[in-house]
Structure 1
Amino acid sequence: MGTKGKRRRFSASFKSKVAIEAARERATLTELGKKYQLHPNQISQWKQQLLSTAEELFEEHLGKEKEQQEALIEELYKKIGQYQIELDWLKKKLAMSVIEKRRLVGRHPQISLTRQCQLLGLARSAYYYQPAGESDFNLELMRQMDEQYMRTPYYGVRMMYGYLRRRLDYPVNVKRVRRLYRKMGLEAITPKPNLSKPNAEHKVYPYLLRHVTVERVNQVWSTDITYMPMRQGFLYLTAVMDWYSRCVLSWELSNSLDVSFCLAAVKTALAMHGKPEIFNTDQGSQFTSNLFTGLLLDNAIQVSMDGKGRATDNAFVERLWRSVKYDYLYLRVPESGLELYQGLSQYFEEYNNDRPHSSLDYRTPAEVYFR
C-alpha cells in the first residue's frame, strides 16, 4: 500500500509574511503561489483573515480607555442571553455584499460559523468558495477583449464574441465571453431596459452633476475601477481624480475586486488633499456598499452616482483609463505586479506634472490643482 504524503504545516510568522505580501497588492496570487510553493486559494484565504483581523489587532493598543470599554462590553454580554447577542451582532452586519459578509464570518465564542452564515444570509458554500485562477488562454482572451473594448466601448457580449471568433479566430462561445466580461467589470455603453431591481441593501444615490459647472479644485472628485492585464495574470486599478484639474490624487492596485482597495485610495486622497464637496462614482457594488458611502458621509461629502449604463457621466476617469492603457500598458506590458506598480508610479507622476492638457490651456494637472 502507498503512503500518504505528510500534510504541510506553516508557522504563524510564515502565514503572516505571505498574507502581508498579498495585501500589498504588488503581485498576483499566482505569482505569490509560485514564489512560496502555495496554492493561490490558500494565499487568498490568509489575506482575507489578515484584513478581517487587522483592525482588531491595532485596537488592542489603544490603552486604558479601550480596556475599560472591553470590560464594559464583557459585563453586558454576561447579563444578556444568547438570543440578544445574536440580535446585536446581526444589526452590525446587515447591508453587506457577499465579499464583505465573508470577511465578517470568523471564530466567535458563542456563535458558530454555521449560525453566523445563517444570520448574515450567506450560504456556507459561498463562505468556503475560493475561485480558481484563469488559464493562459483566458488571460490572452481578456487582454484582447480589453484592448478592443477601449476602441469600441459599445461592444456588448455578442459583438465581442463575433470579434473574437471571426476576426481573431479564437474558439470561444458566448457563455465564456459573458463570464469574462463580468470578471473584468466591462459593460457596453448603451441605453438598457430596466431588467433588474437594485439591491435593496445598498442605497443608490442620485446623479448630482447634471447642469453643474465645475469651476474650482476640490469641487468634484470621482473614482472608478479598471482591469490591468499583464503577461502573467492581471490586477485591478482604482484611482481618485479631481474633475476640475484632471489631477490624479491617489491610486491603488488589488488582486481582487473587494471594496478594501477602493477605501484605501479614498482615505489616502482625503488625508493628503482635504475633501471635495461632491464625490461621483458609478453604481458598482464596491461604491454602493455601506462601507464606501459611509466613509464619504462621515466626512460630510455629498455622494453622486452615475445613471445605470451611463459611463459618460464619469467621462473624465474613463479618459484617464484610455490614456493609461494606450500610453503605457499596451506599449510596455509588465511582467509582474511589482513591475506594473513601478510603471504606474512613474506614469502618474508624469501625467500630473509633465503632460499638458488642451482643456487646461495646455497646463499640467498639478499646475492647476496646486496653484
Structure 2
Amino acid sequence: MVERHHPEISVKRQAELLDVNRTSIYYKPSEEADKDIELMHQIDEIYTRWPHYGYRRIRAVLRDMGYVVNKKRVLRLMRRMGIAGLCPGPNLSKRNHQNHTYPYLLRGVKAERPDHIWGIDITYIRMKGSFMYLVAIIDWYSRYIVSWELSQTLERSFVMRALKKALAVRKPEIINSDQGSHFTCSEYIELLKRNGIQISMDGKGRATDNAITERFFRNLKWEKIYYEEYRKPREVYRAVRTYIDEYNFERPHQAINHQKPADLYFGQLKLAETTLVTM
C-alpha cells in the first residue's frame, strides 16, 4: 500500500509509481474485502502448484480447505488476479473488439541463441492484507530475466514500461505471451511491430505454452514470496529484486547445463550488475 508518511517519496509520486489512483489511498477495506484477499492468496497457492486447474477444481480445493465459496466468486477473484486455469470454461476477460490475437509459433521450436525467443507474463504477488502484480520478461535460451516491473493494479502501463526498458537495450526475434488484454491491445502489438518482432501467443487456456516463464514465477513464490509477510510495496520490490539478481547472476540452472543465466545471455560481454528495473 501507499505509505502516507514516507520520508522521501510524496504520496502523489508513490501513487504514480504504483499505478494507484490517489482517491483510493484512504479507503479502508471492509470485512468482505479482507475475505476476498484471503481467498485470493489461497487461489494463488493452488494455481501456482497446479496451473492446469480450472475454476471448478480450484473451488473444490477451497471447499476441502473449509472455505464456503461459490463458482461465481472464484471466477470473479481469478479475473481480478489476472489468471485463468487451463480447463475450458467461461471467458474470464472480455476483450475489446479492437484487440488482436496471434497464433502460437513455438510448437516444436527450441530457442537456439540469446534473444531468439522471449516470454512475457504477469503473476499475482501476495502481501499481508494486500497484493501486487509482477510482469517479467525472460529469455528462453538463457533463462535470463531481461526486465520486470511491479504494480498494485493491472493497468496496462506497467507492462509497457517493462517492455520498453527491455527493447531499449535488446530485441528478440520472437516474443511469446498469453492472450490476455495486456498483450492483445494495440499499444503492445504496435510496439512489437515497429521493432520487427514476431508475435506468438499461447493457445487459449494453455498455460503450458509459456512454461519457462510460469516455472520462474513458481520458483520465485515458493522460494521467496511465501516465506515472508510483506506489508509494504518497497519490501516486495526489495525481495523481488534480490531474488532476480541472485537468479540471474549467481545461481547455476540445471536446464542450461548448470550455467548461470547472465553468463549464457551476455556471453563475453561485461555482465550488468542488475536487471532493467527502477524503483
The interval holding the TM-score normalised by the smaller chain is 0.7 to 0.9
Residue 340 (structure 1) aligned with residue 236 (structure 2): yes
Residue 246 (structure 1) aligned with residue 121 (structure 2): no
| Counterpart in the other structure of 2:246 | 350
SS, match of residue 120 in structure 2 = strand
Distance 1:187 1:308 in 2: 10
SS, match of residue 245 in structure 1 = coil
Deviation at 1:201, TM superposition (A): 1.1
Residue 236 (structure 1) aligned with residue 133 (structure 2): yes
Q: 1:156 aligns with which of 48, 54, 75?
A: 54
User: TM-score w.r.t. structure 1 length?
Assistant: 0.64
CA offset digits 1:38-63 (Å, max 9, x no partner): 348xxxxxxxxxxxxxxxxxxxxxxx
| Counterpart in the other structure of 1:180 | 77
Residue 23 (structure 1) aligned with residue 1 (structure 2): no
Distance 1:264 1:196 in 2: 22
| Counterpart in the other structure of 1:89 | none
Structure 1 residue runs without a partner (length 5+):
1-15, 41-130
CA offset digits 1:263-298 (Å, max 9, x no partner): 0001111123x2111111110001000001111111
Residue 285 (structure 1) aligned with residue 181 (structure 2): yes
Q: Does the 8 Å CA contact 1:184/1:227 hold for their aligned counterparts?
A: yes
Distance 1:175 1:300 in 2: 41
Instruction: Kindly report which structure 2 residues correspond to 1:92-171, keeping only aligned pairs within 5 A, or say none.
Output: 135-165=33-63, 167-171=64-68
**Change over 3 Å in CA distance of 1:133–1:245 after alignment to 2:** farther
Distance 1:213 1:241 in 2: 14
| Counterpart in the other structure of 1:312 | 208
| Counterpart in the other structure of 1:224 | 121
Report sequence identity in percent. Answer: 47
Distance 1:21 1:340 in 2: 14
Q: Does the 8 Å CA contact 2:86/2:207 hold for their aligned counterparts?
A: yes
| RMSD between aligned residues | 2.7
Q: Does the 8 Å CA contact 1:29/1:255 hold for their aligned counterparts?
A: no
CA offset digits 1:96-129 (Å, max 9, x no partner): xxxxxxxxxxxxxxxxxxxxxxxxxxxxxxxxxx
Aligned pairs, number: 258
Q: Does the 8 Å CA contact 1:191/1:310 hold for their aligned counterparts?
A: no
Distance 2:245 2:31 in 1: 32
Bigger relative CO (Cα 8 Å, ≥ 6 apart):
2
Deviation at 1:312, TM superposition (A): 1.1
CA offset digits 1:185-234 (Å, max 9, x no partner): 22122356999997531121121112223110011111000011100211
| Counterpart in the other structure of 1:122 | none
| Counterpart in the other structure of 1:213 | 110
| Counterpart in the other structure of 2:276 | none
SS, match of residue 100 in structure 2 = coil
Letter in 1 for 2:212: F
Q: 1:256 aligns with which of 132, 153, 159?
A: 153
Letter in 2 for 1:341: Y
Distance 1:197 1:135 in 2: 23
Letter in 1 for 2:132: L
Whichever structure has more helix as a proportion of its residues is: 1
Q: Does the 8 Å CA contact 1:217/1:244 hold for their aligned counterparts?
A: yes
Q: Does the 8 Å CA contact 2:84/2:92 hold for their aligned counterparts?
A: no
Deviation at 1:19, TM superposition (A): 3.2
**Change over 3 Å in CA distance of 1:132–1:308 after alignment to 2:** farther
| Counterpart in the other structure of 2:99 | 202
Q: Does the 8 Å CA contact 1:238/1:252 hold for their aligned counterparts?
A: yes
CA offset digits 1:218-252 (Å, max 9, x no partner): 11111000011100211110011111000001100
SS, match of residue 66 in structure 2 = coil
Distance 2:150 2:96 in 1: 27
SS, match of residue 200 in structure 1 = coil
Q: Which has the larger radius of gyration?
A: 1
